[in-house]
Amino acid sequence: MTQDSKTLSDRVSRRKFIAATGVSGAAAIAGCSSGDGGSSDGGSSDGGSSGGESTESMENTDSTDSGSESGSISPLEAGGSSTVYPVSNTAASYWNANRPASDSEYWPHGEYDIDTDKNLADYWAGLYGFEPGEDGDPPFTFAVGLSHSGTGVEKVMNGQHDIGNSSGNVEDELPDRDSYEQFVDHVVAVDGQPLVVSQEIADAGVEQITGQQLKDLYKGRITNWSELGGPDKEIQVLGRVKGSGTRTSFVSNVFGNPEEDTQVANRYGQNQRLAQAIAQADNAISYLALAFINTDGLAPIALEWEGTTYSYQDEQNGLDSKEYPLSRDLHIYTWEGTSEKEASVINMCLHPFGQETFVAPNNYFTLGQRRLEEQRAKLPDQV
């Protein structure tokens, strides 16, 4: 859905099932971990890093139909944000499968007024001059790695990735740079970060907090759930590591400063691990990427901000509201322009087919027509 609409598509199909594997695949890679001991934001409790040196897990996100490199063209490599990962990973699964035009469920080109007899990846790559792959393989494969935003933008800058996934602006992720002109920012989706608590806390009656209470929680000024109308139980405040776009966006939106220090019990390098930690606790609260809100064992709570209460799936003031304070763009960065290979995949993601297939099923908000046109204008000319 776009930020102007209020409901996700409820269409259930094989396509939606396959798209959902973007999140489940990420969770399988991430595993489960939790640390102990209170601290500020300087480190990580799950093996992540506070900066750009996080170990990145590179997954060849190909389907059962295509597992080898196609032709002589090197793979397209992306990496970075665990928030953007479900979108990129789902796109890679479709790309590498390269389903034929006759598979109208997986590659429903006719629904989008695309007249073609080409396989899925062959069509999108062909718009930029690539020849079809051999034996049903795509013209080139698409591999997506999983780390966090700071790592993604650093690696695309250093030439280690073609695409850097980031849920924060590059200016916030790399604040010490003098210039950002060589980065090209492709916005592919919008995330309305929810606030979530352990299910036990929601069951005990905590349904919403105010903006000031949120600030106090992350500054260590509120430490017991009884102060928020809940049980007499210590609050476990959780969050993401520095270098994570999820954290950068959160502290920037809440405190007005992407470098603001916060007090948290544990920090996690990826949204998957953070969601699992909240669910496994009985006293936790955190921000989270919207794609992971359906994790069993956690529940969203409302946020009252400057006189308006925003809550998950609210018809008028939902997380897709343009005024929701924890809303943020999800970015795919390229370096020194955008190549035809990069544009082939990005254009697919920015088409209504990609928005409805890769973005909406992962619980993110699709871009409106005006923003889609703005983003597509950044791509090189098609042949």
142-199 pLDDT, tens digit each: 999 999 999 999 999 999 999 999 999 999 999 999 999 999 999 999 999 999 999 9
Confidence of residue 327 (pLDDT cuts 50, 70, 90): very high
Average pLDDT over residues 68-92: 88
Calculate what percentage of the chain has a pLDDT beyond 70. Answer: 81
Range of the domain at 274: 192-327
The domain tally of the chain equals 2
C-alpha span between 36 and 226 (Å, rounded): 22
- Residue 180: half-sphere exposure toward Cβ, Cα within 13 Å: 13
Same domain, 115 and 23: yes
Of 327, 346, 368, the one marking the end of a domain is: 327
The Cβ of residue 178 has, within 10 Å, a number of other Cβ atoms equal to 5
Return the pLDDT at 321. Answer: 86
Is the pLDDT confidence value at 50 over 80? no
Same domain, 160 and 23: yes
Q: What is the DSSP letter of 193?
A: P
Same domain, 222 and 317: yes
Contact by Cβ (8 Å): 78, 331:
no
Average pLDDT over residues 230-256: 95
Lowest-confidence region among 61-65, 118-122, 129-133: 61-65
- Residue 195: half-sphere exposure toward Cβ, Cα within 13 Å: 28
Same domain, 91 and 214: no
Task: Tell whether pTM > 0.75.
Answer: yes
Same domain, 29 and 145: yes
Return the pLDDT at 71. Answer: 55
- Only one residue has tokens 């190909």, namely 62
C-alpha span between 366 and 268 (Å, rounded): 27
CATH number of the CATH domain containing 56 = 3.40.190.10
C-alpha span between 255 and 237 (Å, rounded): 16
Please indicate, yes or no, if residue 39 is contained in any of the structural domains: no
Return the pLDDT at 2. Answer: 55
Same domain, 151 and 258: no
pLDDT in tens, 189-237: 999 999 999 999 999 999 999 999 999 999 999 999 999 999 999 999 9
Average pLDDT over residues 353-365: 97
Phi, psi dihedrals of residue 288, rounded to the nearest 5°:
-165, 155
Same domain, 225 and 253: yes
Please indicate, yes or no, if residue 381 is contained in any of the structural domains: no
Return the pLDDT at 314. Answer: 87
Backbone dihedral region for residue 86 (phi beyond 0: left; psi -120 to 50: alpha; all else: beta): alpha
Query: By three-state DSSP, how is residue 109 classified?
Result: helix
pLDDT in tens, 338-352: 999 999 999 999 999
Please indicate, yes or no, if residue 97 is contained in any of the structural domains: yes
Q: What is the DSSP letter of 369?
A: H
Is the pLDDT confidence value at 5 over 50? no
Same domain, 183 and 196: no
279 alpha-carbon distance from chain centroid: 19
- Only one residue has tokens 């995330």, namely 191
Contact by Cβ (8 Å): 201, 285:
yes
Bridge partner list, 166:
331
Same domain, 240 and 334: no
